[in-house]
Amino acid sequence: MINITINRTDSGSIHSFKISGHAFFADRGKDIVCAGASAVSVGAINAVHALTGVTPEIEQGDGFLRCVVPENLSENINEKVQLLLEGMIISLQTIEEEYGKHIKITFKK
């Protein structure tokens, strides 16, 4: 199962997220759950960098991705980063609604 943890600040902003595990929906290379989660998360990180100039702290490996939003961003830039990451969450929740046996999202403060 792919486990996704979204860490929010007390004010509700996304501070970081971690994705770990494998969906085991289908054979490697044909697993649409894994491909979807990967595309959505990496695409969101790429969008943050390309559209805001912010480079999050990234750690990744086989079946693992961790992303931390830098602190002390200007309010304007942080709003853009947050909007992009909230879009990522909505896309991941859409995958979870359809393939909940293979992907789970947890929110933490």
Q: Give the residue numbers annotated as catalytic, written as ranges.
A: 22, 34
Please state, in angstroms and rounded to a whole number, the distance separating the CA atoms of residues 27 and 70: 36
Phi, psi angle pair for 73, to nearest 5°: -80, 150
Q: Which residues contact 57 (CB under 8 A, 6 or more apart)?
A: 66, 67, 68, 70
Q: Which residues sit opposite 16 in a β-bridge?
A: 7, 68
